[in-house]
Each structure stands twice: as C-alpha cells, then as structure tokens.
Chains A and B, each alone.
Chain A
C-alpha cells in the first residue's frame, strides 16, 4: 500500500518473462488477429453491400459477446440478461437522436454510462447471489427491460414497434451514410475494444476477476473487495454492451424490443461458452458461427435453430472447454 514498487532493472531476468516467452504461440495468434483485422478493413472494397452489412453486424455482436465475456468468462458471473444492456445503449442513442435531435456521436457517452449505471445498480445487490440464482435474476432483468420497452415506458420508447428513422453519424463534417462508412466505424470500434480487452487481461484488474472466479474466499483473504470488483466488472461489461448498442441503432436505423429479448442473451451466453471462456479468439469464433453462418445458409433458415441446438449439444459433449479455450497452465 505505502511503499511504491521499484521499477525493474534491465539485467534481471524475470520468471514472468519466461512465462511470457512460452506464450509465443499466443503472441503469434495476436499477430494473426491483427492481420485479420487489417484485412477486414478491405471488406467494403471486395464484397457487395449485403456482405458488408454482415461484417458490420459481426463487429457489433463481436463487441457485445466480448463484453459478456468480461462478466461471464473472466469474472465467472452467470449473466443471462446481457442483451438488456445492449438494448439500453441502443435505446439511449435512439431516444436522444430521434426525440431530442442529438448527433449520434454525442449520444455515445450516455449510451455507455446509462448501460454501465444500470449494470452496476442491478449487480450491486444481486452480486451475493450464487451461480444459478444470479442467472435467474439476470433473466428477470432482461424480461423486465423488454416488457418496459414494449409497454412504451414513459411514452418515449415507442412500444412494440420501437423507434425508427435513427439518423446517420457525422464525423468531421462527413456523413457516414454508406454501408461501407458504417462498417468502418464498427470495425474501428471493434479494434479498439480488442485492444482494451487485451490490456485488461494483462492488468491487475483483469487478473483479479480470474482470482475471484477461481476461488472467491482465497481472493478476499488476499484483500480483494469482491463486491466492488464484481460490480465494477458488471458495469464495464454493460457499458461496452451499451457502446455496441449505439452502433447497432445506427446500423439498423431502428430499435425495437424484439432485438433485445432473452433469446439474444441466451445466444450471447452460448457464444462465450461454446467459443471458450475468457478467450478473445474463441468468443469471436463463436460470434462468427452464430451470426455469420446463418446468413450463408439462408436457404435452411427454418432449420437454423434446430441446427444451433444440435451444434450446442455436440460441441459441449465433444469439447466442454469450448472450441478455442483460453490458454491455461493446466495441461
């Protein structure tokens, strides 16, 4: 607490470094991820509008799934109401833009703060619920949110039809109206979120989440304020979901309750577990499987959920740790 840790002199070889060099595979994977992200920037040049919009949707849901992974995969809290925070962000942007005439970019901080605030307010009392009970309570939150939107809460949410005609964002005087421009916006935000997530994993706060997940009692006796840390994790995860909500409102130009129903929360939950908890590539892979594959196999649309259901069972039975699990010291 009191004494500052002294910085490391160059000559000392640190065990942490050895540990790190073992992760060359991980570093390599990061380089590949960076490369893929750069390649993604060329999607608008190579594909037609339908595909560009699919890629934009992937970026948006990728952010939501990564934010769910902070709460579920890293901190180990069973949040099955995540579509609610996503929806709050989308509604905040829609209401401020359509009803109050704010520019889209000005709504972003509010979308993040309101979602994060609701996440924290909800989490603070619920955090002491264990496992399945927290899961049920978050399902309840999601259901209440959707019903409130549907019943036109305060006369500003537009009921079942939601809010339409959301404006386009302006950046330095340029109108980001084309599908390509919106895609680049989504893609850049995804890039930023990926960097934030990587940093989180290498920070004390990120590690604290894992301590809590693995042994809460041991963590608290090491000085971890579990209530504070868990509430904060909920707020950060919800805030990032709210950010994605803004992007979603812009992309679709309409927000309605049906986009944020409990089934969406289940899908996000499944993405994290099927992809691999706490694993950035795993979660993105999961997002791609859940949101891109269905677009490719549109002819089989009516079998979509049947196949999903089957795949979820099959993946869990064959690979309970997920498709691309997080690197772990456990062999």
Chain B
C-alpha cells in the first residue's frame, strides 16, 4: 500500500511535467498540423537557462524562493522568444509546402538547439544546486512526499487550469480554437492566423520552459540530450490523449506519468521504456487517433 501511494505521487509529479510539455506539442499540432520536434529541446533550454540563473545568483543573500522565481521568469522569457524565432525562421516559410518538409525542418531545429546547448553548457551532466526549496517531506501510510513534488503538482494543475480558461473563455482562445479547426475559414472571419500561431509559439514554450525547469529541479540534473528523452515522452503523452486536443494532452501526460511510475515500481526499470512504447503502439492500434482524439472521416 505504501508503494502504491508513493507511486501515485511520483507518477502525478512526472505526469504533471509531461502534461506541461505535451501541451506545447499538442497546441502547435492543433493549429499547424506539425509535430514540433524541437519542442523538447526548447524545454531543456529552459532548464539550462534556469540553472545558469540559479548558480549565478546563488550566494547573493536573497531568499531562495525569490531566486527561483527569477530563474523561472528569465527562462520563460528567453525560451518563449526562442519559440517565436523558431516559428518565424523554420516553420513559417514552409506553411504551404509538403508537410514532410516542415517535419525535417523541425528535426533540424531540434538538432540545432540540442547541439547549441552542448556547445554553450558542455556535454557533461549539470547538477542543480540544493537548498533552494524547503526540505520538507511528509510521511503518510508508508509513503513520503516531498515539498518539490507538491509544488510541481500544484503548479502544473494551476497552469493547466489557466490555459483551459484562456483557451475556452477568452476571445483569443476562441481564435486559437477556430484556427485549429480551419485556418482559411478563420482568416476569412478576420482572425489574424499569423498572430494566433505566434501566440501558440509563446504559450507552448512558456509551459515547456516551466516543465523543463521542473525536470531539472526534480531530478536535480540537466544534460543536453534530455530534450529528446523527455520531449519524446511528452510527445507520446500528447499522442495518447489524441494530438491536437488540449484536455487530451493533460490526460495523456498524467496517465503516462502514472503508468511509468508503476512500471518502474513493479517491473524492472530497464524494460520500463520498452513497456511504455509497447503501450503506445497498443493504444494506437485500438484507438488510432488517441484517447480523446476525434476520428476524421474523409469526404468523398
């Protein structure tokens, strides 16, 4: 029972992070029908920027939480800027081209960012400083839940709720949903689709930078290839939920986090990834467009 509760909390923590990153994949896909393979690397870029902020401000005498907040803000601003530039340079010129051209451009951007991180921060594993957050651990029914976990879970829920409200209850959110259904029709209704896409490339990387920094803080490390690993997981989460579907990405992230935690807790961890991929393939076979994705019938 203790293990069970422990794995639920571990799963929710990781799942929250997956969901934050998955939202970036799913929103871009929803509006542009493009898998933004560079998204995972953008998130890890956020982790490294945050880390640099934390190490350079450490010992300045200011309280830890304030420094942490500053690190988040700087990481978000820079990563969101990188996202907008990415869209402008690598994706916008290809909007009318063969979809595969954009896929390759995205893969290229991923390599570029990943190796850019390696050249700037080096190929070694970077360690996050300790003592930023209160070292509180709650014990209950044989499980221990740390302050970091609670912070990540609460923050993820808060951000997802905010996104949900933004997309469903604001004018701009309506514009995003309209552009996702039919770009041309949205344009005819006076929606500035370029601006919608730019905003999506601000929101996605913003959530992604938070997710990336959470990864760094939770595991207390960052390395340049992390973007692929976690990006792929988040992407699988988006696919599980039905890519293009915002609640789907949230659901997929949490389910995948829980699934991973239990696979690691009860099955050998060396097969954990294989089981995750097998689950992905199995779900696609049963529901080819994910859990919440809609089946699209071709009009003849």
Contacts and interface: CB of A to CB of B under 8 A. Distances in A.
Interface of A: 78, 125-126, 128-133, 135-137, 139-141, 143-144, 147-148, 150-151, 217, 266, 269-270, 273-274, 277, 302-303, 305-306, 308-313, 315-317, 320-321
Contacts of A133: 239, 284, 288-289
Contacts of B102: 316
Contacts of B270: 147, 150-151
A42 B93 CA distance: 43
A316 B94 contact: yes
A136 B90 contact: no
A132 B104 contact: no
19 contacts: A130-B288, A131-B99, A133-B239, A136-B280, A139-B232, A140-B281, A144-B274, A144-B278, A151-B274, A273-B103, A273-B104, A302-B118, A306-B119, A308-B108, A309-B111, A313-B89, A316-B102, A317-B90, A320-B101
B104 A305 contact: no
A320 B97 contact: yes
Interface in B89-145: 89-90, 93-94, 97-105, 107-116, 118-119
Contacts of A217: 298, 300
A313 B280 contact: no
Contacts of B97: 316, 320
Given A129-B288, A133-B288, A143 B108 contact: no
Contacts of A306: 111-112, 115-116, 119
Given A273-B101, A302-B119, A320-B98, A310 B284 contact: no
Interface string B235-253: 1100100010000000000
Contact of A137 (B103, B109, B281): B281
Interface bracket on B? 35 or more
B107 to A, nearest CB: 6
A5 B274 CA distance: 51
A148 B275 CA distance: 11
A310 B89 CA distance: 11
Given A136-B280, A270-B107, A147 B115 contact: no
A295 to B, nearest CB: 18
Interface in B212-271: 232, 235-236, 239, 243, 270-271
Contacts of B280: 136-137, 140
A262 B93 CA distance: 27
B35 interface: yes
A226 B284 CA distance: 19
Contact of B108 (A125, A137, A310): A310
B104 A270 contact: yes
Given A140-B278, A217-B300, A312-B111, A151 B105 contact: no
A141, A144, A150, A321: which has the most chain B beta carbons within 10 Å? A144
Nearest to A147: B274
Contacts of A129: 284, 288
Contacts of A143: 273-274, 277
Which interface residue of A148, A277, A310 has the most chain B CB atoms within 10 A? A310
A308 B93 CA distance: 19
Contacts of B274: 143-144, 147-148, 151
A43 to B, nearest CB: 30
Most chain B Cβ neighbours within 10 Å, of A129, A143, A150, A277: A143
A321 B105 contact: no
A128 B104 contact: no
A139 B281 CA distance: 10
Contacts of B101: 273, 316, 320-321
A151 B268 CA distance: 11
Contacts of A266: 107
Contacts of A269: 104, 107
A136 B108 contact: no
Q: What are the 3 closest A-B residue pairs judged by CB atoms, nearest first?
A: A312-B108, A309-B111, A309-B112
